[in-house]
Structure 1
């Protein structure tokens, strides 16, 4: 077993750097609006038709900034999944 010794200042500087990197990485991953492919992955579906049905029935929120670009709200997808979750016995 190896033991690594650090001075107090070096240890706390290392901790601060790790926390900063984690915050940076976490902020990059969670975009509010996701593409259709990402929405299908989050919902674990393979069909674009199913995604369109969820959109048309108002079960998940979407935005259409341009004619052929449709983005889906990550929060509404998570809410939809939570509403359809079943409790275990």
Structure 2
């Protein structure tokens, strides 16, 4: 087993670089159009029927590029969650 010693400044600089790289990957990973399972996860629902209801009511935006492929707009899901959030006391 090896032990690596770093000065405080070098350690914190390394941590900052790691955090920056993780945030860059997260931004790159976030996609405007997400699958149904990702939409359900983001909405914290487990029923495909509820997801369809939100789609049919026009509560969230979706795109259907092919007959069996339905993609959901992640921004509209965030807006939906914001509209239904309750203010704290």
The TM tier, using the shorter chain, reads 0.7 to 0.9
Match of 2:85 in 1: 85
Q: Once structures 1 and 2 are overlaid, which stretch shifts more, 45-54 or 15-24?
A: 15-24
Aligned partners of 2:69, 2:87: CA distance in 1, in Å?
36
Deviations 1:20-47 (A, max 9, x none): 6234312333111110000000001111
Q: Which runs of 5+ in 2 are unaligned?
A: none
- Quick check: 1:50 aligned with 2:50? yes
Q: Which runs of 5+ in 1 are unaligned?
A: none
Query: What RMSD, in angstroms, separates the aligned Cα atoms of the two structures?
Result: 2.7
Aligned partners of 1:15, 1:66: CA distance in 2, in Å?
44
Match of 2:36 in 1: 36
TM-score (norm 1): 0.77
TM-score (norm 2): 0.77
Give the total of aligned pairs: 85
Secondary structure of the 1:24 match is: helix
- Cα distance 1:44–1:16, how it changes in 2: closer, same or farther (>3 A)? closer
